[in-house]
């Protein structure tokens, strides 16, 4: 049985699918189904219905990090799948904020309703992921990603308090990888850890594998020219075959990727599906 990946919710979509500022991707691995993030609002259910994807037969729910645009439908998914296994870093439950010039300070936490739904699950169905773990055969999560370079940051002004005295380093940010015959497929939610930090950590435990495909949000929407230069140099150095930038990757970053990466580059959108 082939493995399949489908983006259900994303910032881009072609009608009759709808877009939103959010991300959700379905992984069909053999007979198992993993929902990686749940988007922000109604696009998850609208698009799933049009794509013929049932959302009441899921085996695992993975939360890439505790932001509202990735965990907006956690309670609804748990209600539809009461026996589901939930996997995330425990810091996803933290209160957090972001600051944008002209907008001010905003809460970006999971809602109390969604946090309560996670904690209401039986203990045996909750898996707190602090370090790499195999959640299905050949399917792994990174756990918390070490920040090892000096040019990648979280991609925004994130704080753990309303006074903006304590930066939120988003140590709950995690990514997923799948071992395939052609190499590793890496799936990122927002990649607040930075794509080089993320890939370097994955390669540390996969020294016999290369990276074949990167898909998901790369949070380069505010990246400086210097950061983009170094990111492009790094991705070219590991010789990937395909990059699908979605959600928060940023239009200018994707333009540079299309022009400068030695790989097949595609802009992700809701409904995009491919087999592994």
Helices (H), 171-243: 195-204, 225-237
CA-wise closest residue to 110 among 88, 125, 81: 88
pLDDT tens string for the chain (276 positions)?
579 999 999 999 999 999 999 999 999 999 999 999 999 999 999 999 999 999 999 999 999 999 999 999 999 999 999 999 999 999 999 999 999 998 999 999 999 999 999 999 999 999 999 999 999 999 999 999 999 999 999 999 999 999 999 999 999 999 999 999 999 999 999 999 999 999 999 999 998 899 999 999 999 999 999 999 999 999 999 999 999 999 999 999 999 999 999 999 999 999 999 998
Q: Identify the CATH class of 4-275.
A: alpha beta
**In this predicted structure, what is the pLDDT of residue 270?**
98
The SS3 call for residue 242 is strand
Q: What is the pLDDT of residue 157?
A: 95
- pLDDT for 106 equals 96
What is the per-residue pLDDT for 2? 79
pTM of the model: 0.97
What is the predicted pLDDT for the residue at 188? 98
Rounded-to-integer distance, Cα 38 and Cα 73, Å:
5
The confidence score (pLDDT) of residue 228 equals 98
The confidence score (pLDDT) of residue 276 equals 86
User: In this structure, what DSSP letter does residue 124 have?
Assistant: G
Q: How far apart are CA 151 and CA 248, in angstroms?
A: 18
Structure tokens that stand for 251 in this block:
């239009």
- Give the model's pLDDT for residue 24: 98
Residue extents of the structural domains in the chain? 4-275
Q: Which residue has the tokens 């040019």?
A: 151
Query: Tell me, what's the pLDDT at 261?
Result: 98
Helix (H, G, I), strand (E, B) or coil at 22: coil
């Amino acid at each position: 049985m082939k493995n399949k990946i489908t983006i259900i919710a994303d910032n881009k979509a072609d009608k009759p699918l709808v877009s939103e500022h959010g991300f959700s991707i379905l992984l069909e691995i053999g007979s198992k189904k993993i929902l990686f993030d749940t988007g922000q609002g109604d696009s998850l259910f609208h698009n799933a219905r049009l794509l013929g994807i049932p959302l009441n037969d899921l085996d695992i729910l993975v939360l890439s990090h505790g932001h509202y645009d990735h965990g907006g439908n956690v309670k609804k998914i748990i209600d539809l799948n009461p026996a589901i296994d939930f996997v995330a870093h425990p810091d996803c439950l933290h209160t957090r904020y972001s600051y944008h010039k002209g907008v001010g300070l905003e809460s970006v936490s999971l809602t109390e309703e969604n946090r309560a739904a996670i904690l209401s699950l039986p203990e045996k169905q909750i898996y707190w992921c602090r370090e790499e773990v195999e959640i299905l055969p050949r399917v792994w999560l990174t756990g918390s990603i070490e920040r090892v370079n000096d040019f990648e940051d979280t991609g925004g002004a994130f704080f753990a308090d309303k006074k903006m005295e304590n930066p939120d380093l988003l140590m709950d940010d995690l990514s997923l990888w799948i071992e395939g015959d052609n190499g590793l497929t890496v799936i990122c939610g927002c990649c607040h850890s930075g794509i080089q930090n993320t890939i370097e950590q994955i390669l540390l435990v996969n020294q016999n594998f290369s990276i074949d495909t990167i898909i998901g949000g790369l949070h380069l929407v505010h990246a400086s020219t210097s950061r983009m230069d170094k990111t492009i140099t790094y991705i070219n150095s590991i010789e990937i075959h395909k990059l699908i930038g979605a959600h928060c990757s940023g239009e200018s970053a994707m333009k540079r990727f299309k022009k400068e990466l030695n790989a097949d580059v595609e802009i992700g959108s809701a409904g995009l599906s491919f087999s592994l």
